[in-house]
Structure 1
Amino acid sequence: MYTSALLALATLASPSFAAYKKVWDYNSSNFWDNFNFVDLDDSHFTGGFAQYVGIDEALSSGLARINNGKVRLGVDSTNTYSTSSTGRKSLRLQSYGYFDNGLLVGDFAHVPVAGCGQWPAFWVYQGEQHVGSYAEIDILENVNVHTANTHSLYTSDQCTINIQKGNLVPEKSTNCHWKKDGPPSQGCSFNAEAGTFNQPFNNDYKVVALQVESERIRIWHFKKTEVPADLNSASPNPDAWTKAPTVHITPKSCDFHKAFNLFHIVINTSFCGSWAGDDFNNTNYAGQCAQQTGVNDCKTWVAQHPSDFVNTFWEINSIKLFQRA
């Protein structure tokens, strides 16, 4: 009786989660059908030096194409540009579909090799159509010559969190609240381990997974030798994975379901702008890009050196979404 009572208490104390089932599988067979190619320049978003092109130009120019069964999303690495232009041609894709919760898994054969001036990102956000609210989670993102991934979470709700796992960027808080025209230190931002971005990712890593549920948000990086076998099934179980997540947060004073929802998937590559910087002497790795390139101005470097961006491309095996049955 004593053992039975303990088991009953343990059952009550541990949450019971329904199994995940695959609902989206975006790959080389259907990618163009499920993503909108945003035909705007990046001044509409992060003040970057990138001219995003529509699907017709993307496909005809080869910036978007299927390469050996993989989805390849690149940038123009042939032409030079005026610094007074809207910027180097690039791509910003946004999924037509959106989700509120689930397990989103990006399987990559190649991520952009981010040198000076470059700002690639794989992320989810509500989109401009949701007036009066905002939510964003950056899954794979950084700038310039960084080789460690950074995760940021933003919501227009007041949202304090408990950190179960993860290294919070010093200038960020444990309140993920964001408002337009607020200070740069808004939101919650976490540093991933070294080697999870840039060429080191391509050398060793393959999969990034984001779990968004009302009781927790978690992010994992998996090396090529670490990918859970059940991710090849229709019903993975993250609670059985042996690798610890890079980030694991739970709500403190926050309704995760309300604060983080209506997520579209976004994949884009920008240049310069509000994070990669317009002045190489006053940005992340201050002075390193000025020394490496021999110029101070980011736009000058990006505009005049197309060959530096030959490896600035995404190559995607698949993007899958699993949700509770």
Structure 2
Amino acid sequence: MTPLTGRPALVTVILVLHCVLSQAYTLVHNYNYTNWYSSFIFEDLPDPTKGFVDYQSLNDSLSLGLTKIIGKQVYMSVDNVSVVPLTSTGRKSIWLESKDVFQHGLLIGDFEHMPGSDCGIWPSFWTFHNYDASGVYGEIDILEGFNDITRNYISLHTSGNCTFKSPPSKQTGVPNNDNYDCNLSAGAGCSVQAPEGSYGASFNAQGGGVYAMQWASRFIKIFFFPRNSIPADIVAGKPNPAKWGLPTANFDSRYGHCDLEESFQPQTIFFDSTFCGAAAGGKAWTSWTDCSVKTGYSTCEEYVAGNPHAYDDAYWLINSVKIYQRSEDM
């Protein structure tokens, strides 16, 4: 092969290699037992979801044993010792938010344990737009449930007009109640129900697993992998969503109407474990789940206040939360 005929081929190889490298995800943040307390703020704020809960600061959470480092894992729990007066704010728990914000990329959470499927509790791993982005509400609920359910509800909530209707061939989850409208005024947002084993007791029984959110300008995809099915590229620290198959939830603007760039500003990462409130109390207690019959209590607050050991299983055990981005995401 002469230099003249070989040069175009070499240029082609270089261009292909450049494209491959530009599409690769690079680790930007790795939150784990070494830096958790310096990376997240433990807020002692009033619960915005009207829960029966008393969130604790980092210092108080540490002194009460609500959080600690166990080996190489982060432990975060609720008060499972005290009987709480009904006239109080509620049961002590944690609410934390990341100091960093991010826009686009991969958010990967590796959890060995999450709060169980216990009546009265409402745990969540989610993201929300930067508070500086006034006038725009964009929330992504990656892992969330309430009371005794056993499946995760993946949801988007927006202040603007956002609808998604991904066909069954594009995701493995099932739309919840055929609600495709993400507008906040609709309450539930646009929600997809993940399979059994994705939440609470069934999630914990298999050693937990990994949740991954892939966020690009056109779509937000959520993947769930049980412990024994985590892709090797995630384990190796070189995630490649192109090899993961169908997502559990696929919010793709091609299958609906939504300006994702407008609706989802830079996001902050949140963890919380609240009680009762808008999702686990009220009708959720008496009608949507069988907790009132199962517990013998007519209200969520009465049960939560008087039964601390019902929440012995209400803790997070976190291996890591990582953010990866490509060059075009940064």
Is the TM value for this pair above 0.5?
yes
Equivalent residue number for residue 36 of structure 2: 31
Name the residue aligned to 2:260.
256
1:172 corresponds to 2:179 = yes
Q: Which residue does the alignment assign to 1:7?
A: none
Provide the rounded CA distance (Å) in 2 between the counterparts of 1:81 and 1:96: 31
CA pair 283-24 structure 1, distance change in 2 beyond 3 A: farther
**Identical pairs, percent:** 37
In the superposition, relative to structure 1, how do residues 150 and 324 fare at CA in structure 2: closer, same or farther (>3 Å)?
Answer: same
Q: Relative to 1, partners in 2 of residues 1:216 and 1:122: Cα closer, same or farther, differing over 3 Å?
A: same
Instruction: Give the Cα separation in 2 of the matches to 1:247 and 1:323.
Output: 20
1:155 aligns with 2:132: no
Unpaired runs of 5+ in structure 2?
A: 1-18
SS at match of 2:83: coil
Equivalent residue in structure 2 for 1:277, among 257, 275, 281: 281
Q: What's the C-alpha RMSD, in Å, of the aligned pairs?
A: 1.9
Asked if the contact 1:142–1:150 (Cα under 8 Å) also holds between the matched residues in 2, the reply is yes
- Kept after mapping to 2: 8 A contact 1:279/1:296: no
Deviation at 1:283, TM superposition (A): 4.2
Q: Which moved more, 1:244-253 or 1:158-167?
A: 158-167
- Shift of residue 294 of structure 1? 1.0
TM-score normalised by structure 2 residue count: 0.87
Q: Which one has the largest radius of gyration?
A: 2
Contact map agreement 1:75 1:313 (CA 8 A) in 2: yes
Task: With the length of structure 1 as denominator, give the TM-score of the two structures.
Answer: 0.88
Whichever structure has more helix as a proportion of its residues is: 2
Mapping of residues 125-204 of structure 1, within 5 Å: 125-126=128-129, 128-163=131-166, 164-165=170-171, 166-170=173-177, 172-173=179-180, 175-178=181-184, 182-185=185-188, 187-204=189-206
1:86-138 C-alpha deviation (Å, 9 max, x unpaired)? 10000001001111111111101111113110100001111544321111111
Unaligned residue ranges in structure 1 (runs of 5+)? 1-14
Q: Supply the distance in 1 between the matched residues of 2:159 and 2:104 (Cα, whole angstroms).
A: 18
Separation (CA, whole Å) in 1 of partners of 2:272 and 2:159:
23
Show the 5 A alignment for 1:46-195. Answer: 46-126=49-129, 128-163=131-166, 164-165=170-171, 166-170=173-177, 172-173=179-180, 175-178=181-184, 182-185=185-188, 187-195=189-197
**Equivalent residues, number:** 302
**CA distance in 2: counterparts of 1:190 and 1:318, whole angstroms:** 25
**C-alpha offsets along residues 234-257 of structure 1, whole Å, 9 cap, x if unaligned?**
43111022x421112210332222
Q: What secondary structure is seen at the aligned counterpart in 2 of 1:148?
A: coil
